[in-house]
Amino acid sequence: MKPMNVGLLGIGTVGGGTFSVLKRNEEEITRRAGRPIRITTVADKNLELARKVAGDGVKLTDDAFSVVTDPEIDIIVELIGGYGVAKELVLAAIDNGKHVVTANKALLAVHGNEIFAAAQKKGVMVAFEAAVAGGIPIIKALREGLTANRIQWIAGIINGTTNFILSEMRDKGLPFAEVLKEAQALGYAEADPTFDIEGVDAAHKATLMASIAFGVPIQFDKAHIEGITKLESADIRYAEQLGYRIKLLGIAKKRETGIELRVHPTLIPAKRLIANVEGPMNAVLVQADAVGPTLYYGKGAGAEPTASAVIADLVDITRLHTADPEHRVPHLAFQPDQMVDLPVLPIEEAETACYLRMRVEDQPGALADITRILADNGISIDAMLQREPEEGEAQTDIIILTHRSIEGRINAAVAKIESLAVVAGRVTRLRLEDLDK
């Protein structure tokens, strides 16, 4: 049977891994796909590097646009990244009737609605398993494996860089800046780690998962995003004393009035499996009505784990290449005319429990004033930790865990607590998720 010819755009870390795994496991992949899948053309600016990786027998070019218009190519694999030329190449490939596989979560989170609409119009597929959580097949699980369920919420550790940093801060008690340098030295963090440590990368991925889970358009611009740069070692230590771990979570939750879509450091009970995911590993917890909670764990990055997801998409496309476009698995799980326009709720309407840490004058009545403000705003206390002041200290730390409340009420209470004369400086506030239902 005629092979499926693939044009590979970018043969860096993931591109090289894709080429290597596809070649190494060619026989197994052909048995599963039903026909051979071969990378026949590689586009990369560094032709010397491309030749070292691809060897002979593959056409090399530094002109990616010549690949997306080549009539001999069936599938384009886009591994260039970014929003600019990658978008032009993907849209050009679609316009030329080619299927697309991409690992580019940023591109899809920002321009996915346009890209999927173009693909639907041309009757081609855009597959993106590698865009979320590397080698973990979470997109396939959401689009296909859980298709009988109403998905209620998703909570994911979906950025390995930040999870490594938080694990090291907890294990070694080191400050953020010091652990970030270690992560960069080990290759877990980029020279410019902004997208990772500020939560943007996780928000790209959470946005895509939310659209698939709930059948809504991609709405990255509505996501609430907080990173880990302001997180202090003291809070990790206090959380541990209270039985919690702090993780950067991407959360998508469906409520009657809309969808919560947020990324932020989160306290999780230490007994939860996801709380014990350490180092650069990823994990996604999905709560659905029929199956209950399911957890997906594995490597979220790296050459061959990500290549595994890229090749899985190539196999899917090969299997469905001749299928009626109307009867393929939809890009975002739901049929395009069945998408609903549920709004993404502003963070003030999110419903979460909270961790509050405040520096308080060690004097009678201080705690009573704080608890009264919380009660006046309809916020009940779940647990409290008060550190004994060191000898000669006039101030001490008070840590309060609240029950679930609307974010706007917590904001109002925090503002009033900060205005108290007995409270020094700002209140540190972190969200808390039990992840039990």
- Which residues carry out catalysis? 205
Task: Tell me if residue 164 falls in helix, strand or coil.
Answer: helix
Q: Give phi and psi for 231, each to the nearest 5.
A: -75, 135
Q: Give phi and psi for 189, each to the nearest 5.
A: -125, 145
Containing 7, the helix (H) or strand (E) segment is strand 4-9
- Going through 66-108 in order, the beta strands assigned E by DSSP cover 75-78, 99-102
Tokens of 408: 């706007």
C-alpha distance across the termini of the chain, in Å: 49
> CA-to-CA distance for 168 and 347, rounded, in angstroms?
29
- To the nearest 10°, the Cα dihedral for 91, 92, 93, 98? 90
Task: Tell me if residue 250 falls in helix, strand or coil.
Answer: strand
Tokens of 109: 């989170």
The letter for the amino acid at 63 is: D
Measured in whole angstroms, how far is the alpha carbon of residue 312 from the centre of its chain?
A: 19
Which residues share a beta bridge with 225?
A: 263
Cβ within 8 Å of residue 200, ≥6 positions away: 194, 225, 227
The letter for the amino acid at 364 is: P
Which residues share a beta bridge with 59?
A: 41
> CA-to-CA distance for 413 and 398, rounded, in angstroms?
15
Going by the DSSP 8-state scheme, the letter that residue 357 receives in this structure is: E
Tokens of 284: 């996604």
> What is the CA angle 344-349-351, rounded to 5?
105
> CA-to-CA distance for 432 and 412, rounded, in angstroms?
18
> CA-to-CA distance for 39 and 32, rounded, in angstroms?
17
CB 398 within 8 A of CB 417: no
The maximal CA–CA distance of the chain, rounded, in angstroms, is: 83
